[in-house]
Amino acid sequence: MTGEVRLAVLGCADVAARRILPAVASVPGVRLIAVASRDRGRADAFAARFGGEPVHGYRSLLDRDDVDAVYLPLPPALHAEWIAEAVHAGKHVLAEKPLTTSAADTARLAELAARHGVVLMENFMFPWHGQHRAVRRLIDEGAIGDLQSFAATFAIPARPRHDIRYRAALGGGALLDVAGYPVRAALHFLGGGLEVRGAVLRHDRDLGVDVGGAALLAAPSGVTAELSFGLRHAYTSGYRFTGSTGRLSVEHVFTPPADHRPVLRLVTGDGAEERTLPPDDQYSRAIEAFVAAVRGGPAPDIEVTVEQARLIDRVRALADEGRASRCGRAIR
């Protein structure tokens, strides 16, 4: 399509108010048309704050002819249903992560979007930040020699017990929430073909969800990736690379504010140095990428999203196998 992208929001979530709608307002070529909620009062409040027409009910929004694309920040357990509804309605979709709660649903929706000729994009925003291009350039130039291993962590402090992340029925848990960041980072830097070699999840019996864990992945090249994540931790957001002649690390890589100036730390046989990188707004960059794709530009690589969902499924399966084995030994 050409011209302005007419965007609507399907669900009045906190992330929409904090991150996405302010970014939409800063990006040319896209206009907020409508905001839908099952609670008319929430739709009215969002529309009063960000613009667009308040709409009561998701179906009413999808039936509109003046909407080209929808942003969907619903709870993860509702994604598969409403992404499918939006695609069948001919709408392009920007959906919050995770795209769905299973690899099977993710692959099915990717195929459905391709068949209907619409853009489907999972809203992991950090890969759009310029700091990761600077890191990749140094790795490719051999700044730390031959890459041997990668490690990444994303963990956040505990939330109130009623937080959506702790509600199993809505797709809560650390694996479906924060684990996606280090997994996506591994895919971003190491490429496809990753295999999960080990995994552990730590469960909270009262909440009924996993609240932390770790996974070991291996690339076809033999490079390993050690990933950790959690919902009851000191805030940690970083990655590091170890090579044959040096190491490279960056902190605050997954959710930096737009004015943050990343600091890259490089250690080699010649000594240690810090390089301060320019700030970047990954939230606006993600919206720009989605708008460009809707208007006929490069489409986001949905196969990366499908691969990520497969890896997340495999982490859960291996962790469950390990837990069952430990329980069996304890019983014996």
Q: From first to last of its 332 residues, what are the pLDDT tens digits of the chain? A: 678 999 999 999 999 999 999 999 999 999 999 999 998 899 999 999 999 999 999 999 999 999 999 999 999 999 999 999 999 999 999 999 999 999 999 999 999 999 999 999 999 999 999 999 999 999 999 999 999 999 999 999 999 999 999 999 999 999 999 999 999 999 999 999 999 999 999 999 999 999 999 999 999 999 999 999 999 999 999 999 999 999 999 999 999 999 999 999 999 999 999 999 999 999 999 999 999 999 998 888 999 999 999 999 999 999 998 776 666 555 45
- State both tokens at 44: 């009215």
Whether 253 and 203 share a structural domain: yes
Q: Please indicate whether residue 97 is annotated as part of the active site.
A: yes
Whether 137 and 239 share a structural domain: yes
Whether 108 and 131 share a structural domain: no
Whether 178 and 319 share a structural domain: yes
Whether 206 and 137 share a structural domain: yes
Residue 115 CB contacts under 8 Å (≥ 6 apart), including other chains? none
Given a contact cutoff of 8 angstroms between Cβ atoms, the answer to whether 181 and 97 are in contact is no
35: domain CATH number is 3.40.50.720
The single residue of 19, 97, 129, 184 carrying the catalytic annotation is 97
Whether 96 and 151 share a structural domain: no
Range of the domain at 25: 5-123
Number of domains present in the structure of the chain: 2
Q: What's the CA gap between 158 and 321, in Å, rounded? A: 27
183: domain CATH number is 3.30.360.10
Whether 35 and 91 share a structural domain: yes
Which of the listed residues 71, 94, 123 is the one where a domain comes to its end?
123
Task: Identify whether 307 is part of a domain.
Answer: no
Task: Identify whether 294 is part of a domain.
Answer: no
Degrees to nearest 5, angle at CA 125 with 293 and 33: 55
What is the reported pLDDT for 299? 85
Whether 85 and 168 share a structural domain: no
* Parallel/antiparallel/unpaired status of strands 236-243 and 246-251: antiparallel
Which of the listed residues 96, 123, 150 is the one where a domain comes to its end?
123
pTM of model > 0.75: yes
Whether 152 and 245 share a structural domain: yes
Q: What's the CA gap between 85 and 217, in Å, rounded? A: 35
Whether 27 and 118 share a structural domain: yes
Which of the listed residues 59, 89, 123 is the one where a domain comes to its end?
123
